Amino acid sequence: MAEKIIARLRVKETHFAPPISEETDVATAVWVEQPLTYRDDELIIAEEEPEETSLYSHENDPPEDIEIIGQGLIARGTFIKATREQMVLLMGGTTSGADAEMKYQHTTMKKVLETAIKFVCYDGTEVIIPRAKGSVNMSIALGKGGLGRFPFKFILQKASSDWDCDIML
């Protein structure tokens, strides 16, 4: 029987660092704080449904064997209140002007990020993803109550050939 981990955590901060390839490097990583995450969107780290392949014979209706291949974990959520500089780091593009007159110019090319991620929760729990690859999108609502949202999706990857880990809870 598979063990299920159910955690009800509220994110206080999100940090990025260069990908981490050894467990001992987690403590010395240089973490950079990212924009806030949107509370009305859940920040979800979930495993996709595994692929199942059945082997049948002519003599039996039930399968003779079943091969199950996992799909890995995906982290999804939404950043809000990103500064112009953070938008450049998350999505690419450039800024022009200074201070209050600074403008963000979005690029047509999708920026792919490869990073370590740390979610710090209000109860002190840290969720660390040593290596993930993904991107951040722009979703801006104009008008009354408009909100600049930056949805992200990261696919968790094996930290390294020597460290078989994709998430630390």
- Which is nearest to 106 in space by CA: 97, 95, 115? 95
In a domain, residue 19? The reply is: yes
In a domain, residue 162? The reply is: no
Per residue in 12-29, pLDDT tens?
999 999 999 999 999 999
Q: Are 89 and 100 spatial neighbours (Cβ–Cβ below 8 Å)?
A: no
In a domain, residue 89? The reply is: yes
In a domain, residue 139? The reply is: yes
Domain range holding 144?
11-156
Q: How many CB atoms lie within 10 A of CB 112?
A: 10
Cα→Cα distances 39→60, 78, 120, Å: 51, 9, 14
* Structural domain count of the chain: 1
In a domain, residue 165? The reply is: no
Per residue in 117-156, pLDDT tens?
999 998 888 999 999 999 999 988 877 777 889 999 999 9
Q: Which residues have C-beta within 8 Å of that of residue 100, sequence separation ≥ 6? A: none
Predicted structure pTM score: 0.83
